[in-house]
Amino acid sequence: MESKLKIILDHYGIEHQAIIWIEELSELTKELCKYLRNKEFSDNGYLEITDVQNCIDQMKIAFNYPIEKQYEDYNYKVERTLKGIK
């Protein structure tokens, strides 16, 4: 999948894709607001989560986010949140 995302990035460029990333994040935000109003998450909301994940994966490639650092940072954030709960 990473190679396919790289093709997309190479074709459109980071600046173009950054606009798309912002749009997709906004669309997910809109779906979350609908959820808070209706207490129901729609199929469209699931698609927006997928769109945002696609954007995040592209950003990791675009900004050369090392896989080891991704795991390290992710674990750090989860642990920090768990500490805040205690």
DSSP 3-state of 70: helix
pLDDT value, residue 11: 97
pLDDT value, residue 78: 97
Domain count, the chain: 1
Q: pLDDT tens track of the chain, all 86 residues?
A: 888 999 999 999 999 999 999 999 999 999 999 999 999 898 999 999 999 999 999 999 999 999 999 999 999 999 999 999 98
pLDDT value, residue 27: 97
- Which domain does 51 fall in, by range? 2-85
pLDDT value, residue 26: 98
For residue 32, CA distances in Å to 56, 75, 76, 84 come to 18, 25, 25, 24
pLDDT value, residue 2: 83
As given in the structure block, the two tokens for residue 84 are 């805040």
